[in-house]
Amino acid sequence: MNKPVRLRYQTIEFENVDIHVCTLRDNQQYSDPGNVALRLGISSATWPLFGIIWPSSLVLAHYMANYDTAEKRILEVGCGMALSSLLLNQRNDDVTATDYHPEVGVFLERNTELNQGRPIGYQRVDWADKTSDLGAFDLIIGSDVLYEDEHIHLLADFIDKHANPTSEVIIVDPGRGRKTKFSRRMEEHGYSWSHDKPEETDYLEEPYKGHILRFWRDEA
């Protein structure tokens, strides 16, 4: 018999902005009574990737806290707990969140209400889906999204499909060994790129070993 899913609530501070989030208390607790996740290919072995705020998500959100997003249409890919989307939503930015996990939308709605924000546009998206109707964006962001080698081409091609000709991409990668291959694929789509260490990570419990991957192209 499955035990009830246990939740935790926390507040993450960004200078003068507080973001309240509900996450799983124990991301090892697997709950898929209707086999929805299983039918999507998400097994009990990969479930622990979901449900908490990962260090890379914190790095991305802190980076976006001081990023110029004025008048940009923004897409967060593989959003998970969507911390960056919640923060950008508090600034009244035009942000859309996407993920493949079936529970993300539930948590996003709950956390948007916790922050008394306006509803955030959300779609459950498979990067391999060629029929996605998300449209095009000026800025695409994500954190810790290059888990497997197959994600290099899938994500780069998905971004290219949904990015405006002149656009920016910011991916925070914890160091899974795929950042250069991914950047080369993005280069094939016309992007220049850089890999930078985050300047300040004192909000993390341990030193951050990853990089902020920045991409930009201008086809105006």
Rounded to an integer, what distance in angstroms lies between the CA atom of residue 174 and that of residue 209? 6
Is the whole model's pTM more than 0.85, yes or no?
Answer: yes
Separation of CA 90 from chain center: 17
| Residue 40: band (very low, low, confident or very high) from pLDDT cuts 50, 70, 90 | very low
Mean pLDDT of 91-111: 93
Q: For 174-210, what is each residue's pLDDT tens digit?
A: 999 999 999 999 999 999 999 999 999 999 999 999 9
Q: Compare 38 and 184 and report the one with higher pLDDT.
A: 184
Burial 83-92 (b: 16+ CB within 10 A, else e): bbbbbbbbee
Q: For 103-132, what is each residue's pLDDT tens digit?
A: 899 899 999 999 999 999 999 999 998 888
Residues 6 or more apart in contact with residue 66 via CB below 8 angstroms: none
Rounded to an integer, what distance in angstroms lies between the CA atom of residue 99 and that of residue 201? 26
Rounded to an integer, what distance in angstroms lies between the CA atom of residue 84 and that of residue 79? 8
Rounded to an integer, what distance in angstroms lies between the CA atom of residue 85 and that of residue 203? 19
> Among residues 140, 138, 200, 147, which one has the least CA distance to residue 173?
147
